[in-house]
Amino acid sequence: MTDTDPDSPAPAAVPPEAAALYRAADRYAWLPASGNARLRYALWNASGTARATVVVLSGRGEFIEKYSTEVVGELLQRGFAVAALDWRGQGLSDRPLPEHDAGHIDDFATYVADLKLFLDTIVAPDAARPVIALCHSMGGHILLRHLAEHGPGPLSAATLVSPMTGLQRERFLRSVLMFMPEIAAMDHRYLFGTGAFKSLAREFASNFVTHDERRYRWTEAWFAADPRLALGGPTVGWARQAARSITACLAPDTLERIDLPILLLSAGQDLIVDSASHGPVAARLRRAEHVTFAEARHEIMMETDDIRARFWEAFDGFAQTVSKPPSAT
């Protein structure tokens, strides 16, 4: 199986814009999941004995290559091994709808089950301990539900970056969804105001996620290099299930069940996730530290160099408390 094979779990090509920082995985593979779906994952092993393993769990619409362009290399330089997963319906994992670009899920419980399968089947048997989750947005939300419902499994700690514990304009979204019939013909449609991916519509000046144009452009560069990665807006069904999952995550006595060191990072200029929800969430977690990056937009790990330097300072300090330092060379 070659990289140009449409059934290969490896990317078909690497865009020139990302080549200098991109770190190809040591292994790309498929993980059979429920509903005859294939989930794509990737593994990187730090040279020598890894000090720990970091499991990268991305947000809605994201994909493994977005983080292997820069973040994975920075983790490898710190002595970590890395594992990453493409959520069902995005990246190279199987899509549930014939409309390729529609971001859909039947129930967020499916994401939680997929994560449990990945951790139990791929991470737990061989990963260097301790295992630290590094999650963004929807990935942080799914991890919180997994921890509350299934316990930590192989995880020893987690960093949640802009976790989806609330959405901007969520009350309005919920009120609109109440009047939309819960049938496939409706739930499979794109959410109002969204549609298939269009690179021409990605104006940097009006973006909500980062102040850094170079990193912002990596997404469209990867979609051009391997169109299989492309994803557009969420469906009505995804939005409906997201709202229900937020309710489930914030239900009484749910977050209180989580007993794991957690670093929760908020973006002060977040226009996607409601960062005001993060303080109350952190207060309900038994062992959480909450840090806000006042100047950052939603994607803290894709922000400008100065914001990213502070992100790594926070992550390194947290990881130091749960992992052994890298071996001297």
Q: For 16-69, how does the pLDDT look when each residue is reduced to its tens digit (9 = 90+)?
A: 999 999 999 999 999 999 999 999 999 999 766 899 999 999 999 999 999 999
Q: Return the structure tokens found at 279.
A: 């303080």
Q: Is the pTM of this model over 0.75?
A: yes
Domain ranges of the chain: 28-322
Q: What CATH architecture applies to the domain 28-322?
A: 3-Layer(aba) Sandwich (3.40)
Q: For 132-151, how does the pLDDT look when each residue is reduced to its tens digit (9 = 90+)?
A: 999 999 999 999 999 999 99
Are the C-beta atoms of residues 53 and 127 closer than 8 Å to each other? yes
Q: Does residue 325 surpass a pLDDT of 50? A: yes
Q: For 205-227, how does the pLDDT look when each residue is reduced to its tens digit (9 = 90+)?
A: 999 999 999 999 999 999 999 99
CA distance linking residue 163 with residue 303, whole number of Å: 16
Q: How many CB atoms lie within 10 A of CB 276?
A: 12
